[in-house]
Chain A
Amino acid sequence: MKAPPFRYHAPEDLASAVALLAQYENARVLAGGQSLMPMMNLRVAGPDHLIDLGRIADLRGIEETPQGLRIGAMVTQRALEKSELVARACPLLSEAVTHVGHQQTRNRGTLGGSLCHLDPGAELPVAAAALDAVLHVVGPARARDIAFADFPLDYLTSSLAPGEMLVHVTFPRADRRSGAAFLEFNRRPADFAIVSVAVTLTLGAEGVITQATIAIGGVSHAPVRLAQVENSLMGARADEAAFAGAAALAALTPCDGDEVYPADYRQELCGVLVRRALVIAAARAGGPAHV
């Protein structure tokens, strides 16, 4: 379990990092290293050049902007977890990040690393999907924004072009009347999710749902937004019947399966977790605590 040979670069600023990434063939950026380093040690990944982003201060900020919270790609998961600003403006992200690995791995693991690595069981991409996060990337020629919905392409593969890297991510501020919930099922609390669910609900007058987003992780190569379920909830009263109906629809989500966690089991979890998450989100949105 030793990595194959590689050259290590530690640029001090973003421009140098982008230049190095453009300069070298088979180069990878290193964020917190919680996935890339094990993959290299298992010789599943073998970059010739590793560009460590750890010294670039510009990638570490959490700021409020008119568009929402702008969070640097190198902000650690532990910093997200402890940020009062994130808890206030983006409670779903705060809740999701507590499910990521162990405290020790969250000290190293980063927001950008998790989003770009796109493990199917990872939590932060699911939150990003539910929140319609926008990713700001830079490359040798230009900078551009990518909606999270357009970001995952395939298993562990994003739409970052060669030479591009993630700089920061904008998460819209949560609506004052909204509630969010993140739930997952796994065997041990620190594991990747077998299925995870991120929900936001906004309630209008008399507990009518005016906005709903539901994203599910663990069922496919990337998080899935349940647009049909979201639509079914719009205008409905946030009550048990509505949530049961939503859960029944969610349980039809096409899922990948394997020998241990077959597709039909994951579908069951989709239904169970969506129902539970909707109940919690509705309560947090100011609806009845037990609907």
Chain B
Amino acid sequence: MSEGHEAGGWIGRSAARVEDHVLLRGGARFLDDIVMPDLAEATFVRSPLAHGLIRSINCEAARALPGVHAVYVFADLRRVLMQDYIPQALPAGGLRFDVDPPCLAIDEVCYVGEPVAMVVATSRRIAEDAAALVELDIEALPVLVDPVEGLQQGAPKVRLSCPDNLVARTKVDYGDVEGAFEGAAHVVREQFRLNKGGGHPMELRGVVARHDEITDQLTLWNSTQMPHRAKALLVASLGLAEHQVRVVTPEVGGGFGTKAVFHPEELAVPAAALLLKRPIKWVEDRFESFTASSGEREQIWTVEGAFDADGRLRGIRGTLVYDHGAATPYGIALPFNAATNLIGPYILPAYRMLIDLCLTNKTPAAPTRGAGRPQGTFVMERLLDRMALQLGLARDEIRRRNMIAPAQMPYTIPVKQRDGSLMVYDSGDYPQCQVMALKAAGWEDFPQRQKEARKQGRFIGLGLANYVEATGRGPFESVSISVGPSGQVIVSSGATAQGQGVKTMLAQVVAQVLGVAPETIHVVVGDTSATPAGLGAYASRQAVTAGNAAFAAATLLANKAKIAASELLEAAVDDLVIRDGVVEVKGVPGHGKSLTQIARALAGTPGFALPGNLPPGLSAASDFMTSGLSYTNGCHLAEVEVDPDTGGVKILRYVVVHDCGRMINPMMVEGQILGGVIHGIGMTLFEWMRYDREGQPLTVTLADYLLPTSDVVPRLEILHLESPTPLNPLGVKGAAESGTIGAPATIISAIEDALRPLDIRVSQLPLTPPQLRRLIRAAQASEMVA
């Protein structure tokens, strides 16, 4: 970066968020705020059975209800669809067959909540009244709920059309695994069952579809993380020309992965709007979201770790069974993330994890914040705690002995990723990160405090975990910037905002280069018309990809402004700097041209030449193409108190030391970490999407599915390291999911520590009080026998 760009000083500042004056004062427009004349509302009739064949759907009574515009089944929508299924499969090695869902069930239903019919009425209320009148006749088929059972001979088939339930088989495999175990001084073996959860944003999914007959354009307002992908799927599914489809994302009240994957309703609603020739809104309600929206996290691990006599890892091997639900909307990324993230900040010489992905009669699996990684980290950190206990080593010491040293960076792991490249840790100081965290949490003094608490009958424990997160997944994101004759700076990007502060992030980067205040910059995100190409929000990527694209585009624009100004000021380009939106001669304050003046000059005047014969317009665009993933890392410590009589757990303190490279806005990074940790607390102690043996969901309200409330979340203490990545000019890494990844391993480590000397081994998430009581009883019983 040149000196002039540094002058803004906006990068690294906890600037007030530019979106907040709208969001906090009730001025934001979310999906449900969109109204327009003749807007109809839709609701879906969903399968009450986890598996069955549709014999008939009788819509007569529903259609006859006053206020109902239409009731559609698949055959009705098929008239405007190019094919039966939504062509959304992602390329993935190991996938044995794709299971793309239709937008309404065709003849087989494969999970409770699968959309079967769609009612469009003058209001949602009437639509729901009519939906209750739709008569479904479904012949029940055998149901498969447990993925381990699903892989056994003779298991019921989740989908009659699939050869079996093993939808994919893949592995992570490198090094001499057999040798590692043959020569091992110690081997620890564990099994883990990590249960299903979900993203559960405050605002759920929703779409408004309108076909404009004048322009022959279909607009879909969509509360999504990936509008460009939604557009591509609409173009392919509806057979429209690209210019005829526009997807716009209004303000979004949280995504957390739930809104990354394209869901059937996102096609059914626009298809219905085309048929009905009327705009239609559908807003998911909380009750339906539990079965209509994707979730994930269900993994069953059987794993063993081989160690040297001094606690150094020699190898890990095992199997991982993944519950994929009833379709594969997102390839096989999630268990692969889990298996590779297991490695973490440690030297693992040999590793083999065999991964089986099983279909089940449950809502299809797709990313939930962390996207598989918290589970892999959980498994590794539990193995390290076990080994430390067995060897009589301190938990921090076994980690220190196994950590990758900063001098080893960049550190290559011979695992091929989705894009074919090897895993390369780009930067970071893992040992120092742990040192800082131990110090902040009072690790050294803790045994004394623990002893004193025990005397008062209190059981407190301290847990720790280290992890990495692959962030900034490519292949690209694009940003264009223009300064019009009005002087307004407009930044457009394929990035999307879900409340995390993407607009502020982009504005700060541009402000840094142009020397204007971020709040004066207009940022347009989530509109396929504003940015022709884009990918959106997933894999903690937008600061890396869009942030660097914004930086490059702003730099191009600044250079163009300087060339124009050099002409207008009759000064050499090298003598110019940009300060407060004015290009001025170095050392001569006041002698300059504002970006507004330059923009006016570059807008052209009839008959006159443009300054410096530059191409017209003060604008620039850039795409940032990633050259690899940048690895964020962190160390978490949690102090908990366990009530051994009830199995209750209270988190007393939570410390995070976090390294996501250079921070654009530390306040927003900390917001991401806080939110991420809260999702991790949920995953560890509360959130559990349960089903009975018939595939009936048991937790479909927020009274039954427990989210962590502010009552159970401690104040976070967050410290930072900044190890800039060499992989992008800003040196930034992602921060969106990292908090979630470290939390389960940390909290469980603390719970086990609180109950020592009882040998409690938690092998299931979430850990409920009755389960903890059971473990305590069993440990007490075995201690009495001993």
A→B interface (CB under 8 Å):
1-5, 38, 42-43, 185, 187-192, 194, 259-262, 265, 268-269, 272
Contacts and interface: CB of A to CB of B under 8 A. Distances in A.
A185 B770 contact: no
B285 A1 contact: yes
B711 A190 contact: yes
Interface string B685-699: 110001000000010
A73 to B, nearest CB: 24
A269 B711 contact: no
A177 B286 CA distance: 49
B285 A269 contact: no
Interface stretch (B125-133, B274-282, B725-733, B746-754): B125-133
B125 A2 contact: yes
Contacts of A5: 125, 129
A1 B770 contact: no
Given A5-B129, A42-B701, A187 B773 contact: no
B645 interface: yes
21 contacts: A1-B128, A4-B129, A5-B129, A43-B132, A185-B648, A187-B768, A188-B686, A188-B706, A188-B709, A188-B712, A189-B709, A189-B711, A190-B711, A194-B769, A259-B690, A260-B768, A262-B770, A265-B647, A265-B769, A268-B645, A272-B645
A265 B706 contact: no
Nearest to A189: B711
A191 B702 CA distance: 10
Contact of A1 (B129, B287, B703): B287
B161 interface: no
Interface string B185-225: 00000000000000000000000000000000000000000
Contacts of B711: 188-190
Nearest to A194: B769
B486 interface: no
Interface in B637-659: 645-648
A261 B770 contact: yes
B522 interface: no
Given A1-B287, A187-B706, A268-B645, 19 more contacts: A2-B124, A2-B125, A5-B129, A42-B701, A43-B132, A185-B769, A187-B768, A189-B709, A189-B711, A191-B703, A259-B698, A260-B768, A260-B770, A265-B647, A265-B769, A265-B773, A269-B646, A272-B645, A272-B646
Contacts of A38: 701
Contacts of A259: 690, 698
A246 to B, nearest CB: 15
A192 B706 CA distance: 12
Residue among A2, A4, A185 with the highest chain B CB neighbour number at 10 A: A2
Given A4-B129, A43-B132, A259-B690, A268 B709 contact: no
Contacts of A269: 646
Contacts, number: 59
A38 B124 CA distance: 16
Nearest to B711: A189
Nearest to B288: A1
Nearest to B285: A1
Contacts of A43: 128, 132
A185 B769 CA distance: 10
B701 A185 contact: no
Contacts of B285: 1
B129 A185 contact: no
A2 to B, nearest CB: 4
A48 B665 CA distance: 55
A285 B701 CA distance: 41
Nearest to B707: A188
B709 A42 contact: no
A2 B770 contact: no
B128 A187 contact: no
B712 A1 contact: no
B773 A268 contact: yes
Contacts of A265: 647, 769-770, 773
Nearest to A272: B645
Contact of A190 (B686, B690, B709, B769): B709
Contacts of A192: 703
A269 B773 CA distance: 10
Interface in B654-701: 685-686, 690, 698, 701
Interface in B728-786: 768-770, 773
A5 B133 CA distance: 14
A190 to B, nearest CB: 7
B607 to A, nearest CB: 63
Contacts of B685: 187
Nearest to B700: A42
5 interchain residue pairs of minimum CB distance = A265-B770, A1-B285, A2-B125, A272-B645, A189-B711
Nearest to A273: B646
Contacts of B703: 191-192
Contact of A187 (B129, B286, B698, B769): B769
Residue among A1, A43, A272 with the highest chain B CB neighbour number at 10 A: A1
A261 B645 CA distance: 15
Contacts of B129: 4-5
Nearest to A1: B285
A187 B646 contact: no
A272 B768 CA distance: 17
Nearest to B712: A188
A224 to B, nearest CB: 19
Nearest to A276: B645
Contacts of A262: 770
Contacts of B706: 187-188, 191
A192 B704 CA distance: 11
A1 B286 contact: yes
B119 to A, nearest CB: 12
Contacts of A4: 128-129, 132
A260 B690 CA distance: 10
A244 to B, nearest CB: 13
A168 B648 CA distance: 37
Contacts of A191: 703, 706
Nearest to B692: A259
B714 to A, nearest CB: 14
Contacts of B690: 259-260
Contact of B287 (A3, A42, A260, A268): A42
B774 to A, nearest CB: 8
A265 B646 CA distance: 8
Interface string B148-186: 000000000000000000000000000000000000000
A272 B132 CA distance: 46
B631 to A, nearest CB: 35
Contacts of B287: 1, 42
Contacts of B132: 4, 43
Residue among A187, A259, A261 with the highest chain B CB neighbour number at 10 A: A187
B47 to A, nearest CB: 17
A183 to B, nearest CB: 10
Residue among B125, B129, B646, B703 with the highest chain A CB neighbour number at 10 A: B646
A265 B168 CA distance: 40
A45 B124 CA distance: 18
Interface string B613-654: 000000000000000000000000000000001111000000
B622 to A, nearest CB: 45
B333 to A, nearest CB: 31
Nearest to A192: B703
A263 to B, nearest CB: 10
Residue among A38, A188, A261, A262 with the highest chain B CB neighbour number at 10 A: A188
